[in-house]
Amino acid sequence: MDINGILANLNSSQHAAVSSAADTLAILAGPGSGKTHTLTSRTAWLLAQGLQPWNIIVATFTVKSAREMKERIGKLIGNGLESKLILGTFHSIARRYLARYGHLIDIKKDFGIADSADSLAIIKRIIKRNRFMIDPKVARNRISGHKSRDQPPGSQKTPKSVEAQEFEICFTEYEAALKISNLLDYDDLLLRCVELLRSHPSCISNVEAVLIDEFQDTNLVQFDLMRLFAAERKRITIVGDPDQSIYGFRAAEIKNYKRMLRQYPDTVTIALEENYRSSGSILLAALGVIEQDTSRVARLLMPTHTVGTRPVLRKLSGAYKEAEWIVMEIQRCRGLTGNLLDLNDIAILLRSASLSRLIETALGKAGIAYKMVGGLRFYDRVEIKTILDYLRVINQPDNNDALARIINTPSRRIGEATIKLLLEEANRGKVSLWSLILRSVQGNQTLAIKLQKQAEQGLSKLVNMIITGGKKLAGTLKERSTITEIIEFVIEKTDYEKWLEVHHDDVHKGRWDNVQELITQASDFQDLVTSGYEDETLPHVEGLKQEDDDNYLSRFLANVALASEVKNSEEEGAPIAQVTISTIHAAKGLEWPVVFIPATYQGSIPHSRAEDGDEERRLLYVAMTRAQALLYMSYPLKSSSGEAATLSPFLAPPSTTRLLEKRGPSLGSHTVQSISQILRRDLPSVSSISESCSSLRSIEDDIFPVDGEDSKEAESKFNSLMGIPTFSLGQQAPKRRRVE
């Protein structure tokens, strides 16, 4: 193991931290300053000092960062021993200990883990049984809050209000239910591990050093775990950034740093002051946001990269336009940089996952592959797929596949085998499944297989429903039902909500919410078509017979089909480049060359239901500081639910807007050079850049007229108004500035 190799490429503060002899070390520094990099190097350095991998615990915040860290350590030490490190999230490390030693505290072997949907299902059952009034989700979050503060049921003062009493019973019964099913929930994994290590400290006797990333988001139980992991030997390294604390809603405590100093008075604190991630202007804009928090402790953070392209703040007329603009920008900036950037370089970060659907649709339509981090794609969810199948059949009953899928969903007592036989019979007679059952229901033909009475009735109801649905689509435009009305018709006729409840009891509410979301989407789409925004009619050609305009439902279905199309290429297994769509919370610690943050309006960020405005601001700060070379923020004048939207107050102050550009960046060769410098990549050939620039210029002008003004003129006016000098490549980054 080469110590010099481990210490190479570190700046002096990072070097000091990595090779520090201190027993307890705290590295507090801003985003992109190399905290994770330093923690990784310190782990390698400890190994080089003679520690064995099983002497070291490294706790990360996400599974993804655990994997990345392990890989980087592997590269630094080069002997393959990184796989023996005790490295993972707090939960996964705790689970490992409980699986090995849980029997010491009466945890049954092979315990299961209750995820949040399981927990919710249990709580719902309890609430139902007791006829309580409390909301299950609220109860679950409160239970988790209590558990992560190590407050078991009964630890509160005697509850007075009815609600508090109900909660207390719910909490007690929930704990009992988990025990009976031999389940541990997420909080239990940590709590029981604390219990284990307290009562049997020898379990941890081989551990000599503990390293923790993202310390600002640890909660009290995790803090206790850290102390128990380190036991008497006290070799602790923590890295964190109070400005990025975004898990307060899950009982994370910034106070843990103070606790640390109290517990370990000899802690050596090291600051890292250079940002290696983002261009100068992205960093300045992000600091402009976080500095609005006057209660924070000032910390120095200066860019190491050139100024680069100013972040963009764009206002769009609506949420649809916003999604389309993002797609156009993705294509434009890839084209204009001569494909220096690929799809993996691009992330779209959202305040809440529900904002994703319009963006998914727009990306899908443009044939841009994407992956959702932590969540199924909207159209892939079973409750949505089933409704879409009904719509497909109503629109086009001969769609055999769709009809075969819904024929027994919800149950009509027609089993898989029968469906297969029916399909075969239809096939033999060279008719569609629909024609076959229609003839039989209408008494024109007897089926080859004899159906039971109930199945026959079910089938006949289905046929009537499809016929009635079809009629709703016929007639003049005025007479036709809207897409929403047809979806509602399907829901009513199939008793869909009840079916979801019976068959998907545990997660029924979430599924029903998704169905509601589909209705909103359909109604948005219909508005769009009627307003002429999404006009797909072709010009009439003289002398050619023209089909009537297709109905709204078929257009809607086509739209959906195009949006899900990309999925197939992914299923074929070829690793393809994909844009990442993620929540801001799940993007912690990660970085991308190009970052989009849509929906930066009041109500989305800060979120209307958020309790802590400062945490919302930090969330935006975390999102902005994920970007390396290009940062796009945008908001629609109307939110996706149709309400008027205004710019997030975090971006509104003149000091911040000064740092943002209102039109897209003109991606000239300077920008391309600075992007490649930030990303340390080879420049694409100059000719390919200028070629793509000239071919795309007209589109650019089309996209970025600034309220009727000539965009170049508007830019220089804007610049001089705001006192922004024009930086060029190679120029010194702005002076060191102390953030106060």
Residues involved in catalysis:
35-36, 213-214, 244, 626
35 binds ligand ATP per the rule CB under 6 A: yes
| Phi and psi at residue 325, to the nearest 5° | -60, -40
Question: Nearest distance from residue 349's CB to ligand ATP, in Å?
Answer: 13
Residues 36-75 that bind ligand ATP (CB under 6 A): 36-37
- Residue 580's DSSP bridge partners are 347, 371
Measured CA to CA, the distance from residue 618 to residue 633 in angstroms comes to 16
- Stretch of 35-43, 158-166, 288-296, 598-606 contacting ligand ATP, by CB under 6 A: 35-43
276 binds ligand ATP per the rule CB under 6 A: yes
Q: What is the DSSP annotation of 56-67?
A: EEEEESSHHHHH
Q: Which does 11 bind (CB under 5 to 8 A by kind): Mg ion, ligand ATP, none?
A: ligand ATP
Measured CA to CA, the distance from residue 110 to residue 102 in angstroms comes to 10
Phi-psi region of 647 (alpha: psi -120 to 50; beta: other; left: phi over 0): beta
The reply to whether 34 sits in an annotated binding site is yes
- Residue 583's DSSP bridge partners are 350
Which residue number has the CB closest to Mg ion?
A: 36
- Nearer Cβ to ligand ATP (33/218): 33
DSSP state of 335: H
Measured CA to CA, the distance from residue 641 to residue 657 in angstroms comes to 26
Question: Nearest distance from residue 18's CB to ligand ATP, in Å?
Answer: 11
Residues in the chain: 740
- Nearer Cβ to Mg ion (15/670): 15
Q: Which does 24 bind (CB under 5 to 8 A by kind): Mg ion, ligand ATP, none?
A: none
The reply to whether 589 sits in an annotated binding site is no
The reply to whether 36 sits in an annotated binding site is yes
Yes or no: say if 598 and 354 are a contact pair by the CB < 8 Å rule. no
Residues 208-247 that bind ligand ATP (CB under 6 A): 241, 244
- Nearer Cβ to ligand ATP (210/624): 624
As a dihedral over the C-alpha atoms of residue 40, residue 586, residue 621, residue 646, rounded to 10 degrees, the angle is: 170
Measured CA to CA, the distance from residue 623 to residue 627 in angstroms comes to 8
- Stretch of 30-38, 201-209, 565-573, 592-600 contacting ligand ATP, by CB under 6 A: 30-38
Measured CA to CA, the distance from residue 254 to residue 534 in angstroms comes to 48
- Stretch of 9-17, 349-357, 558-566, 653-661 contacting ligand ATP, by CB under 6 A: 9-17
Please identify which residue in 589, 598, 603, 606 interacts with Mg ion, judged by CB under 5 A: 589
| Phi and psi at residue 489, to the nearest 5° | -60, -45
Q: Which does 512 bind (CB under 5 to 8 A by kind): ligand ATP, Mg ion, none?
A: none
- Stretch of 26-34, 139-147, 369-377, 419-427 contacting ligand ATP, by CB under 6 A: 26-34
Measured CA to CA, the distance from residue 342 to residue 417 in angstroms comes to 47
Question: Nearest distance from residue 589's CB to Mg ion, in Å?
Answer: 4
Q: How far is CA 250 from CA 47, 239, 353, in A?
A: 34, 20, 17
Measured CA to CA, the distance from residue 178 to residue 119 in angstroms comes to 9
Measured CA to CA, the distance from residue 564 to residue 673 in angstroms comes to 36
The reply to whether 32 sits in an annotated binding site is yes
Question: Nearest distance from residue 304's CB to Mg ion, in Å?
Answer: 16
Please identify which residue in 277, 310, 392, 663 interacts with ligand ATP, judged by CB under 6 A: 277
Please identify which residue in 13, 14, 24, 36 interacts with Mg ion, judged by CB under 5 A: 36
Q: Which does 34 bind (CB under 5 to 8 A by kind): ligand ATP, Mg ion, none?
A: ligand ATP
Question: Nearest distance from residue 303's CB to ligand ATP, in Å?
Answer: 12
- Nearer Cβ to ligand ATP (17/350): 17
Q: Which does 246 bind (CB under 5 to 8 A by kind): Mg ion, ligand ATP, none?
A: none
Q: Which helix (H) or strand (E) holds 694?
A: helix 686-703
- Nearer Cβ to ligand ATP (580/640): 580
Question: Nearest distance from residue 277's CB to ligand ATP, in Å?
Answer: 4
DSSP state of 495: T
For the sheet containing 627-636, what is the strand order? Answer: 312-316, 627-636, 592-597, 346-350, 579-583, 370-372
- Stretch of 53-61, 396-404, 581-589, 683-691 contacting Mg ion, by CB under 5 A: 581-589
Residues 582-621 that bind ligand ATP (CB under 6 A): 589, 591
468 is written with which tokens? 């009635």
Distance between alpha carbon 234 and the CA centroid of its chain, in Å? 36
| Residue appearing with tokens 């078509």 | 529
- Nearer Cβ to ligand ATP (37/321): 37
Which residue number has the CB closest to ligand ATP?
A: 34
Measured CA to CA, the distance from residue 253 to residue 623 in angstroms comes to 20
Q: Which does 483 bind (CB under 5 to 8 A by kind): Mg ion, ligand ATP, none?
A: none
Residues annotated as binding site for ATP? 29-36
Binding-site members are 29-36
Positions in the binding site for Mg ion (CB under 5 A): 35-36, 589
